[in-house]
């Protein structure tokens, strides 16, 4: 027993101090500019979303929010930049969910992504769209599948990178429809779309953000979207579920990430400020213009659960074709 007994009043004072400390930290944080490390090049999807939210987020946090593009190595360079930075919440990552759910299946990383990064907020979301050259077979998915069944192995489809959802959805369509689309992997949407427009590869599973301008210009056509509901930007394009392939339900989302060991109060402040930004009608409208919908207010725990489900799904499909990481 202690020679100096602690009174009930002292315990209450200590407890109130423990509660007040994080609150005071949250009120004074950030103390310098916040850096958004973007897992993608300037002009890419992650960059567009980061720049869309950076200015209103700066107003909410009371400090400049700086966009820092670190493309390359399937997002691993950006993740490394986050992990090497001071763990005080002033450096955050903007990147797609595939950094956790897909990339570990594709590239041999030196980190366990489920332990090294933590999703704070879902910034934007959207499904993939199966697009094709205007002369590609079929006016809709039913006719395309019929042609593919009659001509096994004669239709190619592009992905923006082997092992990603853009690749996996084609494999799932093959399995679900009993067809043999042949995969052609690229390094990014831009070169893949260029070959689709040139009719070198007739089909591609792509993100709406990069395909939308070409769809509006009539340079490519759309068969179906992977989102559970029709994309607001393409109200006449059915979902894969509507077309009879619920297996292809899939949403990609852009997240704002931190390291788990950043101060909890800083993480919470960033999350609350971000959700406020995303609730703004003007931000939501501009998000639609980029090809995304504003992210949902899912909790970190809910996002982590979805990441694990998607990780297992992608891994199972890739294992079925003996896909090996680089």
Q: Record the pTM.
A: 0.81
Query: Looking at residue 211, which CATH number applies to its domain?
Result: 3.40.190.10
In a domain, 2, yes or no: no
Same domain, 244 and 266: no
78 and 103 part of one domain: yes
What's the 3-state SS for the chain? CCCCCCCHHHHHHHHHHHHHHHHHHHHHCCCCCEEEEECCCCCCHHHHHHHHHHHHHHHHHCCCEEEEECCCHHHHHHHHHHHHCCCCCCEEEEEECHHHHCHHHHCCCCCCHHHHCEEEEEEEEECEEEEECCCCCCCCHHHHHHHHHHCCCCCEEEECCCCCHHHHHHHHHHHHHCCCCEEEECCCHHHHHHHHHCCCCCEEEEEHHHHHHHHHCCCCEEEEECCCCCCCCCCCCCECCCCCCHHHCCCEEEEEEECCCCCHHHHHHHHHHHHHHHCCHHHHHHHHHCCCEECCCCCHHHHHHHHHHHHHHHHHHHHHCCCCCC
Say whether both 257 and 240 belong to one domain: no
pLDDT tens track, the chain, 326 positions: 444 455 666 655 555 555 545 555 557 899 999 999 999 888 888 899 999 999 999 999 999 999 999 988 778 899 999 999 999 999 999 999 989 998 888 888 889 999 999 999 999 999 999 999 999 999 999 999 999 999 999 999 999 888 888 999 999 999 999 999 999 998 888 899 999 999 999 999 999 988 999 999 999 999 999 999 999 999 999 999 999 999 999 988 999 999 999 999 999 999 999 999 999 999 999 999 888 999 999 999 999 999 999 999 888 888 888 887 76
- Domain contains 40: yes
Among residues 203, 232, 248, the one where a domain terminates is 248
230 and 144 assigned to the same domain:
yes
**Residue numbers of the domain that contains 286:** 32-125+252-320
Among 209, 232, 248, the domain boundary falls at 248
Residue that is last in its domain, among 225, 248, 271: 248
Question: What's the structural domain count of the chain?
Answer: 2
If asked whether residues 112 and 256 sit together in one domain, one would say yes
Question: Same domain, yes or no, for 197 and 223?
Answer: yes
């Amino acid at each position: 027993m202690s020679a100096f007994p602690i009174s009930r009043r002292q315990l209450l004072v200590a407890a109130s101090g423990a509660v007040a400390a994080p609150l005071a930290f949250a009120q004074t944080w950030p103390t310098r500019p916040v850096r958004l490390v973007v897992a993608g090049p300037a002009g890419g999807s992650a960059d567009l979303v980061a720049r869309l939210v950076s200015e209103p987020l700066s107003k909410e946090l009371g400090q400049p929010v700086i966009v820092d593009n670190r493309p390359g190595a399937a997002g691993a360079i950006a993740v490394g930049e986050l992990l090497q930075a001071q763990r005080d919440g002033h450096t955050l990552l903007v990147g797609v969910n595939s950094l956790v759910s897909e990339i570990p299946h594709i590239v041999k990383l030196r980190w366990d992504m489920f332990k090294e990064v933590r999703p704070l907020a879902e910034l934007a979301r959207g499904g993939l769209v199966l697009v094709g050259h205007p002369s590609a077979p079929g006016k809709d998915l039913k006719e395309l599948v019929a042609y593919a069944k009659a001509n096994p192995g004669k239709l190619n489809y592009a992905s923006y990178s082997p092992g990603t959802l853009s690749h996996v959805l084609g494999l799932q369509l093959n399995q679900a429809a009993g067809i043999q689309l042949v995969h052609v992997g690229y390094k990014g949407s831009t070169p893949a779309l260029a070959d689709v427009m040139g009719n070198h590869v007739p089909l591609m599973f792509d993100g709406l953000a990069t395909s939308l301008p070409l769809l509006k210009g009539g340079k490519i056509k759309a068969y179906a979207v992977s989102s559970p509901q029709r994309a607001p930007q393409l109200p006449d394009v059915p979902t894969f579920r509507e077309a009879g392939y619920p297996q292809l339900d899939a949403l990609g989302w852009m997240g704002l990430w931190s390291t788990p060991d950043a101060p909890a109060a800083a993480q919470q402040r960033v999350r609350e400020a971000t959700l406020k930004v995303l609730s703004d009608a003007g931000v939501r409208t501009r998000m639609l213009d980029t090809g995304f919908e504003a992210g949902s207010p899912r909790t970190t725990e809910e996002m982590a659960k979805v990441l694990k489900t998607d990780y297992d799904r992608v891994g199972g499909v890739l294992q079925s074709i003996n896909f090996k990481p680089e």
